[in-house]
Each structure stands twice: as C-alpha cells, then as structure tokens.
C-alpha cells in the first residue's frame, strides 16, 4: 500500500496551531506517511512540531464558516488544535490523519521505515539477553538452569525461547507443567534474592478446574525453590472469589492439600477495562479547566486511579516483604500472568534489588519482566485515554507500573540513577515510537516480525551518552539497601509529570531541575580542581624537599 493514497491533501498553509501555555502560531501543515509536521517560519525562531500518526489517539473536527478546526488528542495525553482554512482541505486532512493513525498492519508502522540519524554504538536488541542474567545468577548459586524447552515457542507461545527454572526440573517436566498452567505459562524464575537465596517465581493460574486437577510436576517445580522445612507464599493477584470462579472455566488456584508448603495470599489488583476506564476518567479530570476544587477532588477520587496505585504498590511491597523479611520464596500469578503478575514482580524487584534502580538495570528489568515475559504491549497500548472506539484489550498496565516506580522514586529521590523524564520517555515509547522495541505482544511475534533485523531498538538510542545524560538523576548515590515505600494515601501523589504535563506551566519546575543539576555539577568540578591542585602541590613539595635534602 502506498501512503500517498491516504494523503489527499499533503499540505496546507496558513494553519494556526493552538497549545496550552503557548501563543498561537501560524504556519504550514504537512502530512507524510508517518508524521504530521507543522512548521512556522514567520517568526525569528522558526518552530517545528513533528507528531507521529501513531501517537494520535483521536481526532475531532468542527467548522465555523469555512474555517475548519481539528482537535488532535495524543496518546501521550497532549491535546493540540489546528485551525485550517478551507473546508475541503480540513476534511481531507482530518480523514487522512484518521486513516494514517489507525493503520491495521504492524509492518506499516513507522519503526519499519525509520532510519536512524545517529551512529549505533550498541545494538539494543542484544543488550539484555537472559543468558547474561543467568551468568550473573550462576556466580552466586547453582540451583538454577537455563532451559531452551520453549525454543520454538511451542510450549508457551508468550514465553521467550529461554527461561530460568530450578535445576532439578527437566524439560519433560516443564512440558507437563505447561499443560497445567494457563497459556502454558509454567513457573519460571523472576528474581533471585542474593541476600538470602530466596526466589520469586511467576506463572499463570493452574488449570485445576472444578474437579481439583493436580499436576505432580508443577508441585515438584515450585517446591524445588523452597529450603527444607521452609514455606513459600503464593501471591494471587485476584480475590478469592474470582479465583474460585475461575475454576468453572478450567482455571483455579493452588490448593492447600496439594501445596502444603505454600501459603496463599489473595491481593487483588484491578485489571483490563476497569483500569482503562479509570485512566480515561483521570485524564478527563486533568483536562477539566474548571476552577472548582471540590469538583477536581471528587473527579480525582472517582477515577480511582490512585486507589489502583496504592493496591499495586501494596501487593509489590508484600511480595518483597515475604522474600526479604520472611525469608520465603514467592510465586506470583493472576489469571494469564501477563499483566498484574508482571506489575508485582517487577515492582518488587525495584524495592529489593539496587541494580533495578540503575538505568541499565531498569532497562534490563523491562526487557526481562515485560517484553520477554510476554506483556501484550501492542494490545494494551493500542489506544490511550482519548480513544472513542470501543476498547478491546487496551489497559494502562505498563503506565500504572511506571507510575508506581515514580511514587517510589519520589520517596527515595536519591536512590535511582534515572530521573522522572526517563519514566515519561518509556511511557511515550510504549504507546508510539520510531523504535521497534514495544511492537508485538511477545517474543514469538517479535521474532516473526523480524523486529531485530528490520527495526531499531529503543535501547540503541537511549543508551548513547548524549541521550543518557538527559535521563540521569543528578542526586543519585548508589544505595545497596532494600527500600520500603510508604503506601499510605498521604504518601501518594498524582503523577503530575504525565497527567498534568501539558496542563501546567512547566518552566518553573524545569528551572528547579536545572538548578539541582548545576549545584551538583559545580560541586564535582570544584572537587576535581581541588584534587588536581593538591596533587600538584604534593609534587612540588616533594621536589622542594629533594632540593633541600641535596
């Protein structure tokens, strides 16, 4: 298909762009296959706005006389308005944008066309391999092994080709266990707590059904992660009722009789359309320009977003607590094990593992616990909070995770190597990107799409020194401890950086960040100069002494 067919009017002049907190500017609007480009050269400072079509969540048009107005609502939650003279032009442009922003085929997406303008220093597609993780693990324990049972994606279509499992469990057993778990997602290692040798596993629900089916291999697998005489915890992200109801559909939960060494905790985490609705309501509240405080607070409350944040953080803290404080192994799952499960396991690692609070460690976490673990990004992030179309599988699962990281970051502002911008950048790229990283729903799909060969990885770009410097937290000091956040409502805040990003004057906050950077930078410079001078003085003094001795 040629994109040109979809572009009826490629260019319009005298278009006026309106954005909150900016003066309206007049300029030229151009449509290309993947971008909407607005450029204004009228003023001294020429301005360009490039918007990916895939970033457009919805578009409204209206007319006053022959002046058309298009309101574009983006997946990154920004809203812009374009006034386009001429009814026909306006209609054409609107329909082109609509068509181009809702392309069905993945292979037509921008990442397949994007040619980077930067030199690739490191191919991000191979930056984070499970083999490397395993090597690290092997240096502290030999209780685990790397299994290639899923090499052809035949045992579990949503798992990566290699997974880490207890050493004592062979591939045949894994195949049997896969049949006993929803979607074939047998328990695999998510995190190994070096401090006490406890493990966090994740899986999907067991298929016990109504007649209490059991699978000896499954029991053996999970028990293999326990120390003799010790118990473990199953954290089920559903309520007991939901878990019980799941049995009718063939699902279920680990029953005490068959898993006597495990104690089950149900910690409900909201999912799917309820989350998406909450997201939509929150964003709507954030765009309400009313001056009424009651209305704002009641809309914020009604959105329930912060409730979901609190619940998720609590569940993650609980998992971390079981591992670190109770010295117990933990198995986390919900139904499919691709959403709330991953939220919990990845957040628990942020709390427990200092490495996950570094930039590379966090990237590795996202690759391992989200991309390779088969979180269906393409389905979940197909639409954002402005979508008019009926939702199918959309849900802000990943955004909720990022916000929880932000909440912890806010409570421990010196313990993370990355800054808030890094989290916001990941949110943007999960929804629309020039990179192939978040395309597809799992490793199987990514392999079929040949993403590593045909697209550029986000990590190839982010990990370049120029880019990295934008995402570094100037206050960072490596902190080897477990960090326990407070989950009290008083301790949680709305993530302004995402939800009020386009609705607040950001200058003052940016200036503050700049100030922080400068304070640290100046200190480091002085440190270096003082050290250099001291060395120089010591040399001179030594010379001096030599002269005297002679």
Alpha-carbon separation of residue 318 from 88, 289, 306, 352, 485 (angstroms): 58, 38, 18, 11, 11
Element (DSSP H or E) covering residue 303: helix 293-303
> Residue 350's CB: how many other CB atoms inside 10 A?
25
Query: Residue 515 interacts with another protein (CB under 8 A)?
Result: yes
Smallest distance from the beta carbon of 253 to another protein, in angstroms?
15
Q: SS3 of 172, please?
A: helix
CB of 411 to another protein, least distance (A): 5
Q: Which stretch binds another protein (CB under 8 A): 34-42, 122-130, 167-175, 481-489?
A: 481-489
Instruction: Mark the segment that binds another protein (CB under 8 A) among 40-48, 426-434, 447-455, 474-482.
Output: 474-482
Distance CA 115, CA 95 (A): 27
CB-nearer residue toward another protein: 135 or 545: 545
Instruction: Specify whether the CB–CB gap between 89 and 17 falls below 8 A.
Output: no
For position 10 contacting another protein by CB under 8 A, the verdict is no
CB 339 within 8 A of CB 397: yes
Is residue 134 within the footprint of another protein (CB under 8 A)? no
- At 57, list the tokens: 């969540």
Size of the site for another protein (CB under 8 A): 91
C-alpha span between 16 and 105 (Å, rounded): 32
Please tell me whether residue 537 binds another protein under the rule CB under 8 A: yes
Question: Footprint of another protein on residues 25-44 (CB under 8 A)?
Answer: none
Q: C-beta of 329: minimal distance to another protein in Å? A: 11
Which CB, 60 or 326, lies closer to another protein? 326
Q: Which of these ranges, 114-122, 130-138, 317-325, 431-439, lies near another protein under the rule CB under 8 A?
A: 317-325
Under the binding rule (CB under 8 A), the answer on residue 522 touching another protein is: yes
Site for another protein in 225-244 (CB under 8 A): 230-231
The CA-atom distances, in angstroms, between 193 and each of 265, 312, 452 are: 20, 21, 31
Stretch that binds another protein, among 215-223, 310-318, 365-373, 382-390 (CB under 8 A): 310-318
Minimum Å gap between C-beta 317 and another protein is 4
Enumerate residues 444-473 that contact another protein by CB under 8 A.
none
> Given the complex with another protein, which of 117 and 481 has the nearer CB atom?
481
Closest CA to 348 of 200, 225, 194, 134: 200
- For another protein, give the closer residue by CB, 333 or 368: 333
Judged by beta carbon, residue 52 or residue 317, the one nearer another protein is 317
Q: Could you tell me the smallest distance in angstroms from the CB atom of residue 30 to another protein? A: 31
Question: What's the token pair of residue 157?
Answer: 């279509």
Contact flag: residue 503 with another protein (CB under 8 A)? yes
Rounded distance, CA 77 to CA 280, Å? 10
How near is the Cβ of 519 to another protein at its closest, in Å? 6
Contacts of 357 (CB under 8 A, 6+ apart): 350, 415, 416, 417, 479, 483
Residue 206, C-beta contacts closer than 8 angstroms, at least 6 positions apart: 180, 181, 182, 215, 218, 251, 252, 253, 254
Reduce the DSSP state of residue 102 to 3 states and report it: coil
Binds another protein by CB under 8 A, chosen from 33, 157, 209, 413: 413
Residue 300 in contact with another protein, rule: CB under 8 A: yes
Subset of residues 183 to 222 that bind another protein, contact rule: CB under 8 A: 195-196
């Amino acid at each position: 298909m040629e994109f040109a067919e979809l572009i009826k009017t490629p260019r319009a002049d005298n278009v006026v762009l309106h954005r909150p907190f900016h003066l309206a500017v007049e300029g030229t609007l151009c449509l290309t296959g993947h971008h909407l480009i607005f450029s204004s050269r009228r003023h001294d400072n020429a301005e360009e706005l490039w918007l990916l079509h895939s970033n457009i969540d919805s578009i409204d048009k209206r007319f006053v006389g022959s002046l058309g107005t298009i309101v574009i609502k983006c997946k990154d939650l920004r809203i812009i308005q374009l006034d386009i003279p001429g009814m026909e032009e306006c209609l054409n442009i609107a329909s082109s944008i609509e068509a181009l922003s809702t392309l069905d085929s993945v292979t037509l997406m921008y990442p397949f066309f994007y040619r980077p303008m930067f030199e690739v220093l490191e191919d991000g597609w191979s930056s984070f391999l499970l083999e490397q993780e395993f090597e690290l693990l092997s240096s502290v324990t030999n209780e685990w092994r790397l299994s290639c049972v899923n090499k052809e994606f035949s045992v579990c279509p949503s798992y990566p080709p290699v997974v880490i499992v207890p050493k004592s469990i062979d591939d045949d057993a894994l195949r049997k266990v896969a049949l006993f778990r929803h979607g074939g997602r047998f328990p695999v290692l998510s995190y190994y707590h070096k401090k006490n040798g406890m493990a966090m596993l994740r899986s999907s629900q067991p298929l016990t059904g109504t007649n209490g089916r059991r699978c000896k291999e499954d029991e053996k697998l999970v028990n293999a992660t326990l120390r003799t005489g010790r118990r473990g915890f199953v954290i089920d992200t559903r309520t007991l009722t939901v878990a019980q109801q799941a049995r009718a559909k063939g699902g279920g939960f680990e029953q005490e009789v068959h898993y006597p060494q495990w104690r089950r905790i149900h910690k409900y985490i909201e999912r799917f359309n309820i989350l998406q609705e909450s997201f939509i309501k929150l964003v709507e509240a954030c765009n309400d320009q009313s001056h009424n405080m009651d209305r704002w607070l009641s809309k914020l409350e009604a959105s329930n977003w912060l409730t979901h944040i609190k619940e998720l953080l609590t569940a993650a803290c609980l998992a971390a607590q079981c591992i670190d404080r109770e010295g117990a192994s933990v198995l986390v799952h919900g139904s499919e094990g691709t959403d709330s499960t991953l939220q919990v396991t990845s957040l628990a690692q942020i709390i427990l593992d200092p490495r996950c609070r570094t930039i590379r460690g966090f990237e590795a976490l996202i690759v391992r616990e989200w991309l390779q673990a088969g979180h269906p990004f393409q389905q979940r992030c197909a639409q954002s909070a402005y979508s008019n179309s009926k939702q199918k599988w959309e849900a802000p699962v990943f955004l909720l995770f990022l916000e929880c990281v932000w909440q912890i970051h806010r409570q421990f502002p010196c313990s993370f190597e990355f800054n808030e911008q890094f989290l916001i950048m990941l949110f943007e790229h999960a929804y629309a990107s020039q990179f192939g990283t978040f395309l597809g729903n799992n490793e199987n799909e990514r392999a079929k799409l040949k993403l590593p060969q045909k697209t550029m990885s986000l990590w190839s770009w982010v990990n370049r020194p120029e880019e990295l410097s934008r995402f570094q937290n100037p206050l960072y000091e490596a902190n080897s401890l477990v960090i326990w956040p407070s989950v009290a409502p008083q301790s949680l805040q709305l993530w302004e950086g995402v939800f009020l990003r386009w609705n607040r004057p950001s200058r003052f906050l940016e200036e503050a960040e700049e100030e922080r950077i400068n304070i640290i930078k100046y200190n480091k410079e002085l440190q270096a100069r003082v050290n250099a001078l001291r060395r120089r003085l010591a040399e001179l003094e030594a010379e001096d002494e030599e002269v005297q001795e002679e």
